[in-house]
Chain A
Amino acid sequence: MSEFLQFAFSGITVGAVYAMVALGFTIIYNASDVVNFAQGEFVMLGGMSTVFLAAFGLPLPLAALLAILIAALTGVALNKLVIEPARDASVVTLIIITIGASIFLRGIAQVIFDKQFHRLPSFSGDDPIAVLGASLTPQSLWVLGGAAVIVVLLYVFFNRTLFGKSILATSHNRLAAQLVGVNVRFVLMISFALSAAIGAVAGILVTPITLTSYDVGTMLALKGFAAAMLGGMGNPIGAVVGGLLVGLAEALGAGYLSSEYKDAVAFVIILAVLFFLPRGLFGKTGTERV
């Protein structure tokens, strides 16, 4: 039992990270129909920028804040310079463009930062908390708490503010949004900034646990994508549930089978979802063929 609990703790911790990545996918997908495979690079930018800014002597909270800002600006630039010029391209073309952008960002990161692994100190020390025979690190609580705060803030933003609702309205019917005077370009810009910022937060929170390097984004994007697919692309609740499930499946698979298979779990989930449940758990009806 305590063994299971131990696996579950590590599962929901990484799951919360996947959930944040999947939320990033969801926000951009809803606003623009683009599946942004550069999503993982935002996570990398968050972690790496914080590490390097902290190394320059900035206090950690300030470094983290700046890192989030850097990622958000990168998101805005990605939209402006890469996605917007190709606005009329097909979905497949746009996906390939975002993959290209992610390779580009990784290349830049390799030059600006370096190719080493880096870590941040845990925010509240490393003394594990014992829970029913298993142990939970304080940093895990930071990750879970961070994810929970993001979910609550997003809920309030999209359901309680006129601007948040206008983003939803744009995703449901762009023409109608334009006709009431919603600035659709601004909505897209904010969506990219928001999802990049969320990715960066995930990257900062998880770096003390998993370390970071210039190329962590690829795997995170794929797992976040698996999570978003499992939950149903475009559904924020699905993204969170999907993220936690992928994280749990991965941790349990690694624990009970072999840690060799850890990364394979996400891909098995993508394949299974595509074969048996193409709309995901909470997906909308109707599929689009590409």
Chain B
Amino acid sequence: MLEVEGLTSHYGRIQALKGIDLEIAEGELVALVGGNGAGKTTLLRTLSGVQPASAGRIIFRGRDITRSSPVARVGQGICQVPEGRQVWGPISVEDNLRLGTVKRRGSDVAADLERMYAMFPVLKEKRAQAAGTLSGGQQQMLALCRALMANPDLLLLDEPSMGLAPLLVDQILEAVLALKAQGVTVFLVEQNAFAALKIADRGYVIETGKIVLCDRGQTLLDNDRVKEAYLGI
């Protein structure tokens, strides 16, 4: 579904991605783990088109989208839940969700809203409140649902577990697994390597802008290098 070939990206003169190659098949849940500053967020930003690629190609469903605008990519079914949630604080929960539909394909917004509320009932309770009044975990749920409102085929998740209590992390990851079961392809970027690799079909390990390892999720969990660097075992 998604193929990335030799993707590089720069912030000014600093090269953040040094030739990324990866592949995600339809229906897969693929994790990307790596430390702070390894280029995880930059990779997702480049996939969404909010950060320009300097070289390489991004192919989505056989089409080269390397130069497509962020808007066009959402239209083609790539949605991102950004790092740090980025909900619109002063805007109500329900309007945050509705705004997820600006580039939507398909029309039954009301049914999808109900689907989101069924997934996270707390959002329904607080739907009239300003999103900024929600707790961190609730904001993460909202950010996830906002992206889902666009009916994505490929969901890019940036650090959904960041700053959340373990119980909430489990709740979010369960929701991710449920989405996978519904046929959404998920690319999950995490510093919490254990949680991510545990649920992923396959995983990539990124270090200083390069993919250094790629294997099945469980195999990576057993890999000595991964254990030492990311799992602290």
Is there a chain A Cβ closer than 8 Å to B230's Cβ?
A: no
Residue of A nearest to B92 (CB): A165
Cβ–Cβ contact A173 & B102, under 8 A: no
Q: Chain A interface: which of B79-87, B203-211, B213-221?
A: B79-87
A165-B95, A166-B99, A166-B102 known; A179-B80 Cβ under 8 A: yes
A180 touches B90 (CB 8 A): no
Q: Considering the chains assembled together, what is the distance between the CA atoms of A68 and B20 in angstroms? A: 51
Smallest beta-carbon distance A253→chain B, Å: 36
Q: Which residues of B contact A172 (CB under 8 A)?
A: 88-91
Instruction: Assess A178 versus B50: contact at CB under 8 Å? Given A168-B88, A172-B88, A183-B71.
Output: yes
Determine whether B136 belongs to the interface, using a CB cutoff of 8 Å to chain A: no
Chain A residues contacting B91 (CB-CB under 8 Å) are 165, 168-169, 172
For B100, the chain A residues whose CB sits under 8 A away are 180
Asked if residues B71 and A169 are in contact (CB atoms below 8 Å), the reply is no
> Is A286's beta carbon under 8 Å from chain B?
no
Given contacts A165-B95, A166-B102, A180 and B74 within 8 Å (CB-CB): yes
User: B101 in the interface, Cβ–Cβ < 8 Å?
Assistant: yes
Q: Which of A176, A179, A183 lies at the interface centre, i.e. has the most chain B CB atoms within 10 A of its CB?
A: A179
CB distance from A98 to the nearest CB of B (A): 26
Tell me if B198 counts as interface (CB < 8 A to partner A).
no
Main secondary structure of the interface of B (DSSP, over half): loop
- B50 adjacent to A181 (CB under 8 Å): no
A179-B95 Cα distance, complex, nearest whole Å:
16
Q: Which B103-151 residues have a C-beta within 8 angstroms of A?
A: 103, 146-147, 149-150
Indicate the size class of the contact surface on chain B.
20 to 34
In the assembled complex, A182 has its CB within 8 A of some CB on chain B: yes
Chain B residues near A182: list those with CB within 8 A.
71, 99, 102-103
Query: Which of chain A's residues have a CB closer than 8 A to the CB of B147?
Result: 179-180
Contacts of B10 in A (CB 8 A): none
Q: How far, in whole Å, are A180 and B95 apart by their CA atoms in the complex? A: 13
B98 at the interface (CB under 8 A from A): yes
At the interface, yes or no: B75 with Cβ under 8 Å from chain A?
yes
* Residue pair B102, A175 in contact (C-beta under 8 Å): no
Complex: how many Å from CA A180 to CA B103? 7
Q: Is the CB of B89 within 8 A of A162?
A: no
Q: Is the CB of A162 within 8 A of B99?
A: yes
Residue of A nearest to B75 (CB): A181
Knowing A168-B88, A172-B90, A173-B86, the reply to whether A179 touches B50 (Cβ < 8 A) is yes
Sampled A-B contacts (10; CB under 8 Å): A169-B91, A173-B87, A175-B82, A177-B99, A179-B74, A180-B100, A180-B147, A181-B150, A182-B71, A183-B69
Interface residues of B (CB under 8 A from A): 48, 50, 69-71, 74-75, 79-80, 82, 86-91, 95, 98-103, 146-147, 149-150
Apart from the given pairs A173-B86, A175-B50, A178-B50, 18 other A-B contacts in the complex at a CB distance below 8 Å: A165-B91, A168-B90, A172-B89, A176-B86, A177-B99, A179-B79, A179-B147, A180-B74, A180-B146, A180-B147, A180-B150, A181-B79, A181-B102, A181-B150, A182-B71, A182-B102, A183-B69, A183-B71
In the A-B complex, list the 9 residue pairs whose CB atoms are closest, starting with the nearest.
A181-B103, A181-B74, A176-B86, A178-B70, A172-B88, A183-B71, A179-B80, A169-B88, A180-B100
